[in-house]
Amino acid sequence: MALDQSFVGRTYPPTAAYEVGREKIREFAESLGDANPVYTDPGAAWDLGYPDVIAPPTFIFTITFKAAGKQVVEDPQLGLDYSRVVHGDQRFEYTRPVRAGDRLKVTSIIDSIKSLAGNDILSVRGEVHDEAGDHVATSFTTLVARAADAEVEESR
């Protein structure tokens, strides 16, 4: 069953603040195999003009996807069957890098809902702001809720 188009534009309340720690950044960079010292050495970050270590560009996914999951995916009114969902696409736009010590909040917005061959394609935007309310980054996530076999047959 197709998702309700009236959810397009729905904005969820900002999440509680997530405090970005040096250790979380280091662990994330190591999991990527990225040895850039700006992610682990405050001196290297300082030399590049940052007040502390910065996070790899995809780090923001850890908080934006969690926000979308808790708010959008688990919204009972939306009716998304997460057992049928695959991650379709991801991209980020930054105003500035994420830094250790940041306290970030995410506001999730449903940008679009499309139906294609019985599949629902849900685009969710995560607006990330720091404690002062300044924009840090925007995350764009596309989720594909695969149609049940019967739904695919009906759409043909």
How do residues 77-117 score in pLDDT, each as one tens digit? 888 888 888 888 999 999 999 999 999 999 999 999 998 88
Cα–Cα dist 129/8, whole Å = 22
Cα–Cα dist 33/131, whole Å = 30
* The pLDDT value given to residue 20: 98
* The pLDDT value given to residue 152: 47
> For the segment 11-34, what is each residue's pLDDT rounded down to a tens digit?
999 999 999 999 999 999 999 999
Lowest-confidence segment of 31-40, 63-72, 142-151 by average pLDDT? 142-151
Closest CA to 73 of 143, 147, 128: 143
> For the segment 41-78, what is each residue's pLDDT rounded down to a tens digit?
999 999 999 999 999 999 999 999 999 988 888 888 88
* The pLDDT value given to residue 73: 87
* The pLDDT value given to residue 156: 53
* The pLDDT value given to residue 150: 44
**How much of the chain, in percent, has pLDDT values that exceed 90?**
72
Neighbours of 26 (CB within 10 A): 16
Cα–Cα dist 31/40, whole Å = 13
Burial bucket for residue 65 (CB in 10 Å: 0-12, 13-18, 19+): buried
Cα–Cα dist 128/77, whole Å = 24
Find the mean pLDDT for residues 2-15. Answer: 91
Q: Which residue has the tokens 């959810």?
A: 7
* The pLDDT value given to residue 1: 58
Residue 154 above 60 pLDDT? no
